Amino acid sequence: MNRHTPPPTARTRRALALLGAIALTAACSTPDEPVGSAPTTSAPSTASASASALPTDSPSPSASTRVTIPTSAFVELPAELRKSPRRTTPVEEALPKLCANEFGTGGRQVTASAAMTVTYQKPGEPSSNVPQGMIHQTIFTFESAGASAYLDRLRTALAACPGYDQSGNRVTVTSKILSDVGNEALLLTRTWPETSLNGERTGRTASSQIAVARVDTTVTVFDDEGWEGTSGNPAILDRVARDGVRTIEAWQR
């Protein structure tokens, strides 16, 4: 039904294929390179080949301000955690799905959207080891009160989704306020019965987290996906979410 819990997700398998192209991606991305933009002043859109918005996130036809989301607006991992450089990702692939399309509800007030993925490792591990996980970051910019409205709709959708079934496993979803991150922020935790690589239950539980933060008229979503369906790393996600919000604040100044 969804793609966020074990066994290995389709998104993770695609990431394996992309690892070979990471060097090229890094070479083509500069701090000032726009990832997603609204290319006209009369009818801005979220268009770019590398980061596209969901159909429900079509930009407002009344928007009059040109919006560009550059690569420099996205978080980058510190060297000790970075398994590979960040890379552009289609928005519809970066956004998590739980019971439904909870995170794709930007509506007509979206003026731009873009997404990137960072792949992380445990500090001090040799480069030959597999990654520990990936964090997919999506950025939406909104007109007027659109960012606050997005968080309100998300809270309502999450209240109706205490859990869902994924590949024969029941995934439970809990949420809480994430303190001192942006203007407002949520932290979601998904928990499911852990399985081995051959699909057998281990008797333990696995988990991963999603952080959502509003910074003025911008919303960013961080989705931590453990490698090959394993647990994500809550400490790394917390660090990335806080660093990511500070990066957006710097971009907005």
Q: What is the pLDDT of residues 117-161, one digit of tens each?
A: 999 998 888 888 999 999 999 999 999 899 999 999 999 999 999
Q: Residue 169: which pLDDT band, with cuts at 50, 70 and 90?
A: confident
Q: Residue 35: which pLDDT band, with cuts at 50, 70 and 90?
A: low
In the chain, domain spans = 10-252
For residue 147, the model assigns a pLDDT of 96
Topology of the domain comprising 10-252: Protein Transport Mog1p; Chain A (3.40.1000)
Q: Burial-class residue 61 by CB neighbours within 10 Å (0-12, 13-18, 19+).
A: exposed
Rounded mean pLDDT of the chain?
80
Q: Which residue has the higher pLDDT, 231 or 31?
A: 231
Q: What is the pLDDT of residues 176-224, one digit of tens each?
A: 999 999 999 999 999 999 887 777 888 899 999 999 999 999 999 999 9
For residue 11, the model assigns a pLDDT of 53
